[in-house]
Amino acid sequence: MPFLNYHHLRYFRFIARELNLTRAAAKLNLSAPALSIQLKQLEASLGHLLFERERSGLKLTEAGRLALNYAEEIARAGEELMDVMQHRPHGGRQILRVGAVATLSRNFLLEFLRPALHMPEVETVIRSGTQRDLLMALHALEVDMVLSNQAAKRDAGRLWHSHLLAEQPVSLVGVPAWKKKRLRFPESFRDVPVILPSLESNTRAAFDRLTAAAGARPRILAEVDDMAMLRLLAREGEGLALVPPVVVRDEIETGVLVETHRIPQIQETFFAITPSRRFPNPLVGELVSRMAGLESTGKKLPAAVAKIQQTGLSPTTADQP
């Protein structure tokens, strides 16, 4: 049986990326003749030519394109193996690496992660950023999952899954003085000062549609892509903020802010985005299953939780196209 050399596949991937032997050799810190020998050895093992030579450079053959697909998959499996071994050593502490988009409610994030935070053998690493950057980190195995307000689009190269964790109504909130104005939404919102999520937000798009249909044009004081900042601006009292109530739960309970308008036409969604992995972090399945189950029964996560039994992903979670 022919022997398949892992290093040969790595060299092949560099050549396929550059389509130039000299440039690929320079990036690999090899000489071009030495790299050419490695390529010929791989072609001999596979029994097919992988490249055709053209004036403009190299071109993958049909066999080369097929081999490249397998080489990329083998490389990802190897990276995943190293990732699993390095981050979850046998008998040691488990590491849970979570990406959270900046627009996600920090109260919701805390509720989702609370069980893991009460496991003494688990170290939780939280990384914040845009959904695009965090999905790149997910693809590179730098995080185990991404928590977001939006589902992730799937394609052939990124077979991740978007698990719907919860849906919550969105409200307009402000300091108590705003309650006395008795404004009707959306028809009374001509020139009313508001603090809104950024244009990339689904809730912002829905808010704009509702006000436009009513012929109202609120006065935008600020557009914010960070929920914590939006909450702070609402406390200043200059305008009404569009947020899920969970974002300002503490302020509402203490009376610092009040909910002036519940908007049932707008729902804020919360997703856990996970990759297709041969060796997924088991904590991800536990947390997703628990949150989805509690949401379906209307229960809240307790303040302290003992170690969760591994249950896998809940059948109630759904992939989003």
Mean model confidence pLDDT for the chain: 83
Residue 294 has pLDDT above 80, yes or no: no
Residues of the chain with CATH 1.10.10.10: 6-83
Residue 251 has pLDDT above 90, yes or no: yes
Residues of the chain with CATH 3.40.190.10: 87-167+270-297, 168-267
Query: Which range is most confident: 53-62, 69-78, 186-195?
Result: 186-195
Joined together, the tokens standing for residue 63 give 């066999």
Q: Is the dihedral of CA 304, 310, 312, 316 positive or negative?
A: negative
Residue 317 has pLDDT above 80, yes or no: no
Residues in Cβ contact with 38 at an 8 Å cutoff, skipping those fewer than 6 apart? 7, 8, 11, 30
Please give the CATH architecture assigned to the domain spanning 168-267.
3-Layer(aba) Sandwich (3.40)
- Cα–Cα distance, 185 to 163 (Å, whole number): 32
pLDDT band for position 92 (50/70/90)?
low
pLDDT of residue 198: 85
Strands 161-174 and 258-274: antiparallel
pLDDT band for position 72 (50/70/90)?
confident
Residue 312 has pLDDT above 50, yes or no: no
If you classify domain 87-167+270-297 with CATH, what class do you get?
alpha beta
Residue 169 has pLDDT above 50, yes or no: yes
* Structural contact between residues 273 and 144, judged by C-beta atoms closer than 8 angstroms: no
Average pLDDT, integer, range 21-38: 92
Give which of 206, 175, 201, 172 is closest to 189, Cα–Cα. 172
Fold of 6-83: Arc Repressor Mutant, subunit A (1.10.10)
CA 98 to chain centre: 9
pLDDT of residue 192: 94
Average pLDDT, integer, range 284-298: 73
